[in-house]
C-alpha cells in the first residue's frame, strides 16, 4: 500500500514538473486599444501594433476600430469593462474624477522612445495643455513624482483648421491670399465677379462654420478671453468682441457661400470646391486624406490660415487646432499600464510620426515631423504648423454641462445666425442665457427653470380628466350590468376553458419575451427616473427632479410631444375624412371622378418616387454615396 501511494505521489510530481516545463515562463501581456477610424483609418495603427510587437514580443496589442467605436466603448465603460486606452468620445472629466484615467505626467517627464529627450518635449507647443489640470484623482497607480501637474490626455493626430484654395485658379485670376477680414471679404467680391462662388461650407454639418467664429473671437480676446469663454464666465458671450466675430461669420454665410450650401454634407462641400464651383472651402487637415483619389491630376492645393482682424491681439500665425487625444485607463495592473505607456511612447517616436505624415498625409502633434515629410497637397499646412508661434484648441470642453446644454443652444442659435434669422446680438444673448442656466445648475443641481408652466398644468389636467373619465366609465359599466349578460357569458363558453398547462403553453413564451424586453426595462427606466446617474459613477436619489425638469424646462420634450400629437391627430381629423370624401365622390360618379381616382393612387406611387430619389442621390456626382465610396 505504501509503495503504491509513494508511486502515485511520484507520478503526480513528475506530471507537475512536465506541465510547468511545457508552460511559458510568463504569458504575454495583452492590451486592448479601440481607436476611432474617422478621417484617418486604422491601417497605420494596426501597422504600428505589429511593429511594436516585433520589438516587444512579451506584449500583444489588440487594436482596431470602426466609425461606431464611440457607442461601443461607451457601453463598455458604463459596464466597468475599461479598455487599456482609447480615443473614443467619452465624459473624460467624470472618468478623471473617478480615478479611472492614468496620470501621464510622471511618464512624460521620463525619456522618449529614443531615450535622447524628455517625452513631453517632443510634442508641439500647447498641445498638452487641454488635458493638463489640477490633480483630482488620488488612487493613481503610477511611479514618478507625485507633485507633477497631472496630464490625462496624449495627443497624436493633429488637425489644423484652414481655408483650402486652388493655387492655379488664384494665380490665373491674380487673386492674393488674404490675411485680414477686410481683405477676405474683398477677395470674395472679386471671386463673385468672376462668376464663381467664393466658399463652400457644409450646411448639414454647420459646425464647420464655427471655425471662423472661434478664430475671429480668439484673435480679439486672446488666451485669457478664450479661457473665460470656455469656463462659461458671465458676459463672455455678450462681449462686443464676441458679437463682432459673430457678425463676420453672418456676413460670410449670408453673402458669400456656394448656392445650396445648406443641404451639403462635408464631402459634398469639398467636392464643390474640387469641381470648381467654389474657389475655397473650409476644412481641417484631414481634407487631403478624405479626398485622396478624388483630386484631379495636377491639382494645386493651397492652404491659408483663417482671417484675423487688423486690431486683433494675437499673432496672425496662431493656429486653430483639434488634436485627437488618447486616454490611458488606470487598470490597477502595473504590467498592463506599463505596456500601454510603452506602446504610446513607440507610437509618438520619430519614425512613427514621420510614417504617419507620409502615409496618411496629415499633421501630428510632434516636433519630429517637417514639411518635407508631407505630399505637395499638404505642404502649405505643414509650413503653417512649422512657423506657428502658438495654437489654441478648437474642441469645446468635454464636460457633461457643455455637451448637454451649451452645444444644443449653439446648434439652435448657429443655424439662425448663419441664415440671417437673428442678429449677432441676439445670437450672443441666446448663448449667454444658456451659459447662465449652466452656471446656475452647477451651483444648484436641483434648480429647475419654469419655461413651460402653463403647458405643464394643461397637460396634467388633461391626463387627470382622462383618468377620471375612464374610472367613471368602468364604475358605470360595473354598476349597470345589462340583462342577459350572464347568459351571454355562459353561451360563449361552449368550448370550455383551456386547462392551465395549455394556457401557459400558448401565452407563456410571448408573455416571457414581452416581460423581459418591454415590461422589465420599462419598470427599470421608471425607477431610474428618480435617480441621478452619469453612466459612470454611483446613482444618487433625485426624487421628482427629472420629471420636473422634463415638464417645466425641457424644450425637447415639448417639441417631441407636439410632433407626436400631430401624428396622432392629423390622420384622424384630416387624412381619414379626406379619403372618405374622395371615395364618396368617386362612388357617385360626379364630374372629375377620374382625378380623384388618381389621387387615391398617390400613396402607391410614393414608394417608387422615394426609391428613385434615393438612387439619384446615391449616384450624384457631387457627393453621392456610390461615387464618393
Q: Do 172 and 250 share a domain, yes or no? A: yes
Residues 152 and 266 in one domain: no
Domain count, the chain: 3
Helices (DSSP H) in 85-209: which residue ranges? 92-97, 105-108, 167-173, 181-193
- 3-state DSSP assignment of residue 200: strand
174 and 274 in a single domain? The answer is yes
Q: What is the mean pLDDT, run by run of 10 residues, along the chain of 629 residues?
A: 53 51 65 85 90 95 86 91 93 90 95 95 90 58 56 93 95 95 97 95 91 97 94 94 98 95 88 93 87 82 96 95 93 94 97 93 91 89 90 79 76 94 96 90 85 93 94 80 53 59 82 92 92 82 92 89 90 83 76 73 78 78 58
Other residues' Cβ atoms within 10 Å of the Cβ of residue 604: 8
Domain contains 310: yes
Q: What is the pairing mode between strands 319-328 and 154-160?
A: antiparallel
Residue 168 included in any domain:
yes
With respect to residue 516, please indicate whether it lies within any of the assigned structural domains: no
- Is there a domain that residue 97 lies in? yes
Residues near 269 by Cβ (< 8 Å), separated by ≥ 6? 200, 201, 202, 208, 258, 261, 278, 281
Q: Which residues contact 43 (CB under 8 A, 6 or more apart)?
A: 359
Q: Are residues 234 and 284 in the same domain?
A: yes
Tell me the C-alpha distance between 87 and 139, whole Å: 22
Q: Is residue 380 part of a domain?
A: yes
Question: 482 to each of 469, 471, 494, how far by Cα in Å?
Answer: 20, 19, 21
Which pLDDT score, from 0 to 100, does residue 621 have?
59
d(C-alpha 291, C-alpha 274), whole Å: 9
Give the end-to-end CA distance of the chain in Å, rounded to a whole number: 78
For residue 344, with 0-12 CB atoms within 10 Å meaning exposed, 13-18 middle and 19 or more buried, which class applies? buried
- Per-residue pLDDT, 396: 79
Does 311 lie in the same domain as 331? Answer: no
Domain annotation covers residue 431 = no
Whether residues 25 and 119 fall in one domain: yes
* pLDDT for the residue numbered 41: 77
Q: What is the pLDDT of residue 20?
A: 47
Q: What is the CATH number of the domain that holds 383?
A: 3.40.190.10
**Residues contacting 266, CB < 8 A, separation 6+:** 202, 204, 205, 208, 283
Phi-psi region of 416 (alpha: psi -120 to 50; beta: other; left: phi over 0): alpha
Contact 132/327 with Cβ under 8 angstroms?
no
Do residue 292 and residue 351 come from a single domain? Answer: no
Instruction: Please report whether residue 482 resides in a domain.
Output: no
Does residue 71 share a domain with residue 119?
Answer: yes
The whole-number pLDDT of residue 145 equals 45
Cβ atoms within 10 Å, residue 352:
23
Task: At 452, list the grid cell.
Answer: 413651460
Angle between helices 424-443 and 407-418 (to 10 degrees): 170
Among the listed residues 258, 289, 286, the one whose alpha carbon sits nearest the alpha carbon of residue 273: 258
392 and 301 assigned to the same domain: yes
What residue ranges in 87-167 does DSSP mark as E strands?
A: 154-160, 162-166
Please state, in angstroms and rounded to a whole number, the distance separating the CA atoms of residues 41 and 359.
11
Question: Which residues, 6 or more positions from 184, have their beta carbon under 8 angstroms from its beta carbon?
Answer: 178, 307
Q: How many CB atoms lie within 10 A of CB 137?
A: 17
For the chain, helix, strand, coil in percent to 5 are: 55, 10, 35
Give the residue numbers spanning the domain of 590: 558-618
Cβ-contact 284, 162 below 8 angstroms: yes
E strand segments, 120-212: 154-160, 162-166, 197-200
Count CB-CB contacts under 10 A for residue 573: 10
Question: Which pTM was predicted?
Answer: 0.77
Nearest Cα residue to 244 out of 313, 189, 191: 313
d(CA 23, CA 320): 54
Residue 455 located in a structural domain: no
| 49 and 116 together in one domain | yes
136 and 236 share a domain? no
Q: Please say which residue of 383, 400, 417 terminates a domain.
A: 400
If asked whether residues 183 and 266 sit together in one domain, one would say yes
| Sign, Cα dihedral of 157, 268, 620, 197 | negative
Amino acid at each position: 500500500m505504501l509503495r503504491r501511494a509513494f508511486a502515485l505521489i511520484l507520478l503526480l510530481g513528475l506530471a507537475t514538473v512536465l506541465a510547468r516545463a511545457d508552460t511559458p515562463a510568463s504569458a504575454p501581456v495583452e492590451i486592448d486599444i479601440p481607436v476611432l477610424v474617422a478621417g484617418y483609418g486604422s491601417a497605420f495603427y494596426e501597422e504600428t501594433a505589429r511593429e511594436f510587437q516585433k520589438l516587444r514580443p512579451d506584449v500583444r496589442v489588440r487594436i482596431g476600430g470602426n466609425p461606431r467605436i464611440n457607442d461601443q466603448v461607451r457601453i463598455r465603460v458604463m459596464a466597468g469593462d475599461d479598455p487599456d486606452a482609447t480615443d473614443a468620445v467619452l465624459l473624460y472629466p467624470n472618468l478623471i474624477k473617478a480615478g479611472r484615467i492614468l496620470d501621464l505626467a510622471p511618464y512624460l517627464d521620463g525619456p522618449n522612445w529614443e531615450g535622447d529627450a524628455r517625452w513631453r518635449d517632443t510634442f508641439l507647443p500647447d498641445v498638452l495643455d487641454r488635458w493638463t489640470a489640477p490633480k483630482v484623482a488620488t488612487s493613481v497607480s503610477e511611479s514618478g513624482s507625485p507633485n507633477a501637474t497631472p496630464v490625462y490626455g496624449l495627443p497624436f493626430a493633429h488637425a489644423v483648421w484652414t481655408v483650402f484654395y486652388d493655387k492655379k485658379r488664384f494665380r490665373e485670376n491674380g487673386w492674393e491670399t488674404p490675411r485680414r477680414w477686410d481683405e477676405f471679404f474683398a477677395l470674395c467680391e472679386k471671386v463673385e465677379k468672376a462668376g464663381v462662388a467664393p466658399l463652400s461650407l457644409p450646411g448639414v454639418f454647420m459646425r464647420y462654420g464655427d471655425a471662423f467664429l472661434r478664430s475671429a473671437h480668439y484673435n480679439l480676446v486672446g488666451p485669457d478671453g478664450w479661457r473665460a469663454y470656455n469656463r462659461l464666465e458671465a458676459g463672455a458671450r455678450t462681449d462686443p468682441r464676441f458679437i463682432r466675430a459673430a457678425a463676420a461669420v453672418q456676413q460670410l454665410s449670408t453673402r458669400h457661400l456656394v448656392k445650396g450650401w445648406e443641404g451639403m454634407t462635408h464631402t459634398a462641400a469639398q467636392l464643390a470646391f474640387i469641381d470648381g464651383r467654389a474657389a475655397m472651402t473650409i476644412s481641417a487637415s484631414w481634407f487631403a486624406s478624405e479626398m485622396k483619389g478624388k483630386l484631379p491630376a495636377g491639382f494645386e492645393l493651397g492652404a491659408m490660415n483663417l482671417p484675423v482682424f487688423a486690431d486683433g491681439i494675437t499673432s496672425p500665425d496662431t493656429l486653430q487646432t483639434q488634436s485627437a487625444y488618447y486616454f490611458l485607463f488606470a487598470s490597477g495592473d502595473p504590467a498592463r499600464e506599463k505596456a500601454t505607456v510603452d506602446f504610446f511612447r513607440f507610437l509618438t517616436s520619430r519614425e512613427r510620426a514621420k510614417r504617419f505624415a507620409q502615409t496618411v498625409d496629415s499633421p501630428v502633434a510632434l516636433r519630429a515631423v517637417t514639411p518635407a515629410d508631407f505630399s505637395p497637397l499638404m505642404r502649405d499646412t505643414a509650413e503653417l504648423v512649422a512657423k506657428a508661434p502658438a495654437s489654441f484648441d478648437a474642441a469645446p470642453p468635454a464636460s457633461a454641462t457643455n455637451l448637454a446644454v451649451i452645444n444644443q443652444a449653439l446648434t439652435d442659435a448657429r443655424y439662425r445666425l448663419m441664415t440671417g434669422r437673428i442678429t449677432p446680438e441676439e445670437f450672443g444673448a441666446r448663448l449667454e442665457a444658456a451659459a447662465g442656466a449652466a452656471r446656475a445648475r452647477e451651483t444648484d443641481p436641483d434648480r429647475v427653470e419654469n419655461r413651460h408652466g402653463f403647458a405643464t398644468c394643461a397637460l396634467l389636467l388633461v391626463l387627470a380628466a382622462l383618468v377620471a373619465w375612464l374610472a367613471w366609465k368602468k364604475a358605470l359599466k360595473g354598476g349597470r350590468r345589462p340583462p342577459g349578460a350572464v347568459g351571454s357569458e355562459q353561451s360563449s363558453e361552449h368550448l370550455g376553458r383551456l386547462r392551465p398547462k395549455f394556457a401557459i403553453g400558448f401565452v407563456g413564451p410571448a408573455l416571457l419575451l414581452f416581460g423581459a424586453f418591454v415590461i422589465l426595462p420599462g419598470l427599470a427606466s421608471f425607477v431610474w427616473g428618480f435617480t441621478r446617474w452619469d453612466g459612470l459613477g454611483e446613482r444618487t436619489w433625485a426624487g421628482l427632479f427629472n420629471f420636473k425638469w422634463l415638464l417645466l424646462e425641457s424644450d425637447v420634450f415639448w417639441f417631441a410631444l407636439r410632433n407626436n400629437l400631430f401624428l396622432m391627430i392629423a390622420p384622424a381629423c384630416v387624412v381619414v375624412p379626406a379619403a372618405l370624401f374622395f371615395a364618396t365622390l368617386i362612388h357617385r360618379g360626379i364630374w372629375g371622378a377620374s382625378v380623384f381616382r388618381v389621387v387615391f393612387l398617390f400613396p402607391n406611387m410614393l414608394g417608387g418616387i422615394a426609391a428613385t430619389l434615393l438612387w439619384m442621390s446615391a449616384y450624384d456626382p457631387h457627393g453621392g454615396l456610390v461615387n464618393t465610396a
